[in-house]
Structure 1
Amino acid sequence: MKILYSKIIVLSLVLISITSCTNFNDLEDDPNAATSVPPSQLLAGVLINMSEEEGPWSEAMRDNQFWVISFDYYGDQDYNWGAIDFKYDELANIAAMEKEGENLSTVNKYGAIAKFLKAYYFDFMSRRLGDIPQTEALMATGDNSIQKPVYDTQKDVYEQILTWLDDANTQITQARQEVGTGDVTGDPYYNGNLEKWQKAINAFHLRILINLSKHVSDMNVASRFQKIINDPATYPLFQSNDDNMQRVYGNEQNNYYTWNPGNYGFNRNRNIMGATYLNLLKANNDPRIYKVADPAAKYFNANDPEALAAYKGANTGDEQGPMQVASDNGELSYPSETRYYDSYVGEPYILLGYAEQEFIIAEAANRGWISNDADTYYKNGIKASMDFYNVSETDENTFLAQTSIRYKGNNNEGLQQILTQKYIAFFNNSGRESYFDFRRTGIPTFDIGPSNNNGGKIPMRFKYPQSEFQNNEANVNAALTSQYNGTDDINGKMWLIK
């Protein structure tokens, strides 16, 4: 299929009805300003699609090694990745939203969110592929139309992303002065609260900077990080889980949690807890294990219901046939039946959360970019994750008091602790952030076995869309030559991680 670099999609109201967080009956922000497609309608569709791209219990979460699938009919465990689609249709909707928002009496509110969303989607594409069209993208119409856009270098892409995020923070400050904290409809995450949106923009800014950790000097990462951390009045950040950017599910049709009573019989005995994740919980008697997993039936002892020995994850690299036999024999742990199958509500899906932010700041302090106390932010991240699972304060304090959990300082051991706890907090949230951290740092160790199907390697990237080789061949081949010796190699290392 040809990639459309400029296309405005009029989104159906069905997309808007899937969330109960916001009243979408009144889609017109300003009845005196004519809009062909209300910006709120465009915003709603984009935000819902964001949460469905790589949501809970998705293939992305299998690649993160949070869970495994034992039936080859329904999926596999291999890492022989193919191509992904560009996100220019979404970006066209964002551009349309920004343009329509300019017709309103308050021009900054949708414009600020649009800049954040542009940063989000260009990061989404570039982190998975490398160089991508950016400067000449979305220019297929008009007097000076460009049908075959050139590829921007990944470094230039990230310079633009950082500029957009700075501009978004400035513009949303102006929007808050115009309309206060609210007055943005079509928002299933924050119900139009611009104060929370500003925190999300800056938390995402920190995510971008930490993922540039291999380019501290040439991208001025430390000074950019310091600018945000040292000026909370200008760059407010998340203060608790209440600020999480998340999708909340409910009992409404089309807004069910991924796993629920309706698909229990279909899913239950083929979806198994992944050993990479579960073993990290077991290693430190982590109380979150009792929230997310059930003990393997074969090893469960009613007289000792919390015995960690009964929790058995399956290795991502294991062959599916023996895995299914072990599952049928009750030798492996399934996801918690009460947490994930008792209702249609499930748990919120966090796209960007307070726990992640705190671990990012802890890592920056560990690396010496900022003078803040890494231990404080490390503990904040753990507590935020524990709170998400409603772990009791007593169990939380017991966990934090363990020698293996107490922060070991601004050294490699301390960094490994931060990244390990960040991985645990990411469980079934935040798309492929766990994989990207592994790719960047090697933490935690990912399992590789006979099901890998990629020469015993975890891939470093996805392939470019096949449509590019049909419609933009010269430019995509030039990008491959400059980055990956001319081949669309999933094991090639992009600039970001060199």
Structure 2
Amino acid sequence: MKAYNFKKGFVLLTLMVLVFSCTKFEDLTDDPNKATSVPPSQLLSETLSVLNNISNDGPWREPQRDNQFWVISFDYYGDQDYNWGATSYKYSTLSNVIAMEKEAQGLDNQDKYEALAKFFKAYFFDYMSKRVGDIPLSEALQASSEMPITTPKYDDQKSVYTAILDLLDAANDQITTAKSQVGTSDVLGDFFFNGDLDKWQKTINVFHLRVLMSLSKKNSEMDVAGKINAIVSNPSKYPLFEGIQDNMMRRFSDEQGNRYELNPSNYGFNRNRNIMGATYLDLLKANNDPRIYIVADPAPYYFDDNDPLNLNAYIGAKTGDDQGQMQVDSDAGKYSYPNEERYYSSFEGEPYIQIGYSEQEFIIAEAINRGWTSGDAETHYLNGIKGSMKFYGVAQADIDTFLSNTNVIYKGDNPSGLTQILTQKYIAFFNNSGMEAYFNYRRTGVPTFDIGPANKNGGKIPVRWKYPVSEFENNSDNVNAALSSQYGGTDDINAEMWLIK
């Protein structure tokens, strides 16, 4: 019996070896309960989640302090300095975008995903490049290709922006094709616009205008004027936002992870350390702007019940001021805080604009002012102001009064008119659109940013971030070559990149 069992076991073992020797290893290791692919709709949602809260750029976060919209008085919770460190790259998100394209291949309606993928590539390449300068693009995201590249070269910034503009043009064309195939509402996984391709196409084109205007110093090299004119003068091919109802916005709710930054649950935690910034608030005061009563509360020390609308009671703190004295004055009630009723009464707060109608209108007004496209700059300038005021729910009578203010009436297509456009654009950016207020300041010098003892960067507002530390660890030759070609080999936050020279 024992001999028989041994022979039987030997035969079985031999058969097993023969079977497994003919079976691919990956087939042996496949888990039948594990998905081997991810629907493009899920990858779209993951990408939108990153865009929705990219690098904590949202309201009342550190980037909005860098925009000088608000300041923090308690050094325990943060500082006011401009001694910036390294930024982060977004290649992991771009990997999801490429996976979304791959998973959509073969679908009858793959064009809609491919069009959005082109937009996301443009968006994240722009996000990275305008912070540091040259970045990997042509050899990026190829670590898993047939001929893998794990240390991609850095493309010069001009080539990066050439590629970004090409992507945006192609995205607009392809989304037009997608609409002819599936209509306007057929994108699963889209929590921004519920799959509405019309709104996505408008968003892509407004972002295209944003990128083009960021290249204003490179008009002769990049034909910025011609490209802006091509978009603005051809609305049938390049549809744009028609009002604030088209804004690309993040909406908050009473759900963990999606609550507005200021809300009833953290009133006691941060109410007395968030102070309205003087750079922003003083611009509102200068023109008796009705938005001031909506976004800020008067400083208790100066408030008079008999004169509740007295603008002298609205006091912002200067970004450059020493925090020690700021805290003393804050405790004494000498500063304005964010409007308690608006920002602390609910968990929804106000929507956060990623890409908005007012920005679009100010871009077009600037282009007309510069002579880059035809039209009435004043009309677009006023549209931008009115769009912002409607976002805050300002009464029409108050809007009309504000627009009749001598300082607000458009001064014409000249440097004074341009300053008005840029100033109102900054005001409309309050606590939204990430660092766009700063990027516009970096490009134009408008408005004047405050610099003081809290600066800690030699009395300068930096013009870039440092490259990610991981690049020096994993791609040192290429990142150092990029530093040599751009900034003399130093990762200097005060060194000018091609974009702003």
Conserved 8 A contact 1:381-1:422 = yes
CA change 1:440–1:341 in 2 (3 A) is: same
Q: Which residue of 2 aligns with 1:438?
A: 441
What do you get for the CA RMSD once the two structures are aligned?
A: 0.9
Q: Which residue of 2 aligns with 1:328?
A: 331
Specify the SS of the correspondent of 1:265.
helix
Structure number with the higher helix fraction is 2
Q: Report the Cα distance in structure 2 between the residues aligned to 1:76 and 1:343, rounded to whole angstroms.
A: 27
Q: Which residue of 2 aligns with 1:44?
A: 45
CA shift, 1:52, in A, is 1.3
CA shift, 1:142, in A, is 2.7
Deviations 1:414-434 (A, max 9, x none): 000000000000000000000
TM-score, with length taken from structure 2: 0.92
Q: Does 1:405 align with 2:395?
A: no
Q: Does 1:307 align with 2:338?
A: no
Letter aligned with residue 304 of structure 1:
D
Q: Report the Cα distance in structure 1 between the residues aligned to 2:342 and 2:127, rounded to whole angstroms.
A: 30
CA change 1:100–1:35 in 2 (3 A) is: farther
Conserved 8 A contact 1:35-1:100 = no
Q: Report the Cα distance in structure 2 between the residues aligned to 1:132 and 1:91, rounded to whole angstroms.
A: 14
Q: Does 1:273 align with 2:276?
A: yes
CA shift, 1:447, in A, is 0.1
Q: Which residue of 2 aligns with 1:178?
A: 181
Q: Does 1:102 align with 2:131?
A: no
Deviations 1:47-101 (A, max 9, x none): 1221212111111000000000011111100000000111100100111111112
CA shift, 1:253, in A, is 3.4
Conserved 8 A contact 1:188-1:247 = no
Q: Report the Cα distance in structure 2 between the residues aligned to 1:367 and 1:206, rounded to whole angstroms.
A: 15
Q: Report the Cα distance in structure 2 between the residues aligned to 1:271 and 1:45, rounded to whole angstroms.
A: 31
Q: Report the Cα distance in structure 2 between the residues aligned to 1:310 and 1:111, rounded to whole angstroms.
A: 53
Q: Report the Cα distance in structure 1 between the residues aligned to 2:45 and 2:259, rounded to whole angstroms.
A: 17
| Structural mapping, 1:48-127, within 5 Å | 48-53=49-54, 54-127=57-130
Q: Does 1:343 align with 2:352?
A: no
CA change 1:147–1:449 in 2 (3 A) is: same
Q: Report the Cα distance in structure 1 between the residues aligned to 2:143 and 2:85, rounded to whole angstroms.
A: 27
Letter aligned with residue 41 of structure 1:
Q
Specify the SS of the correspondent of 2:220.
coil
| Structural mapping, 1:155-174, within 5 Å | 155-174=158-177
Given candidates 424, 428, 432, the residue that maps to 1:425 is 428
Given candidates 323, 348, 353, the residue that maps to 2:356 is 353
**How many residues align structurally?**
465
Letter aligned with residue 118 of structure 1:
K
CA shift, 1:252, in A, is 3.0
Q: Report the Cα distance in structure 1 between the residues aligned to 2:60 and 2:99, rounded to whole angstroms.
A: 32
Letter aligned with residue 468 of structure 1:
E
CA change 1:339–1:327 in 2 (3 A) is: same
Letter aligned with residue 360 of structure 1:
I
Q: Looking at CA atoms only, which structure, 1 or 2, has the larger radius of gyration?
A: 2
Q: Which segment is superposed worse, 356-365 or 140-149? A: 140-149
Q: Report the Cα distance in structure 1 between the residues aligned to 2:262 and 2:40, rounded to whole angstroms.
A: 32
Deviations 1:255-306 (A, max 9, x none): 2111111111101000100000000000000000001000001111111111
Structure 2, gaps ≥5 residues long: 1-34
Q: Report the Cα distance in structure 2 between the residues aligned to 1:75 and 1:108, rounded to whole angstroms.
A: 45
Q: In percent, how many aligned pairs have the same letter? A: 65
Q: Report the Cα distance in structure 2 between the residues aligned to 1:474 and 1:175, rounded to whole angstroms.
A: 42
Letter aligned with residue 71 of structure 2:
V
Q: Does 1:366 align with 2:364?
A: no
Letter aligned with residue 38 of structure 2:
V
Structure 1, gaps ≥5 residues long: 1-33
Specify the SS of the correspondent of 2:85.
coil
Deviations 1:348-396 (A, max 9, x none): 1000000000000000000000111100000000000000000000000
Q: Which residue of 1 aligns with 2:292?
A: 289
Q: Report the Cα distance in structure 2 between the residues aligned to 1:322 and 1:51, rounded to whole angstroms.
A: 36
Q: Report the Cα distance in structure 1 between the residues aligned to 2:385 and 2:211, rounded to whole angstroms.
A: 21
Letter aligned with residue 317 of structure 1:
G
Q: Report the Cα distance in structure 2 between the residues aligned to 1:240 and 1:209, rounded to whole angstroms.
A: 21
CA shift, 1:179, in A, is 1.1
Letter aligned with residue 154 of structure 1:
Q
Q: Which residue of 2 aligns with 1:8?
A: none
Q: Which residue of 2 aligns with 1:464?
A: 467
CA shift, 1:333, in A, is 0.4
Q: Which residue of 1 aligns with 2:208?
A: 205
Deviations 1:139-176 (A, max 9, x none): 11233111111000000000000000000000000111
Letter aligned with residue 44 of structure 1:
S
CA shift, 1:35, in A, is 7.5
Q: Report the Cα distance in structure 2 between the residues aligned to 1:453 and 1:99, rounded to whole angstroms.
A: 47
Q: Which residue of 1 aligns with 2:148?
A: 145
CA shift, 1:466, in A, is 1.0
TM-score, with length taken from structure 1: 0.92
Q: Does 1:396 align with 2:399?
A: yes
Q: Which residue of 1 aligns with 2:8?
A: none
Q: Does 1:490 align with 2:493?
A: yes
CA shift, 1:201, in A, is 0.4
Specify the SS of the correspondent of 1:395.
helix
Specify the SS of the correspondent of 1:68.
strand
Q: Report the Cα distance in structure 2 between the residues aligned to 1:188 and 1:322, rounded to whole angstroms.
A: 45
Conserved 8 A contact 1:132-1:153 = yes
Conserved 8 A contact 1:68-1:316 = yes
Conserved 8 A contact 1:275-1:313 = yes
Deviations 1:167-200 (A, max 9, x none): 0000000111111111112112111100000000
Conserved 8 A contact 1:66-1:427 = yes
Letter aligned with residue 405 of structure 2:
Q
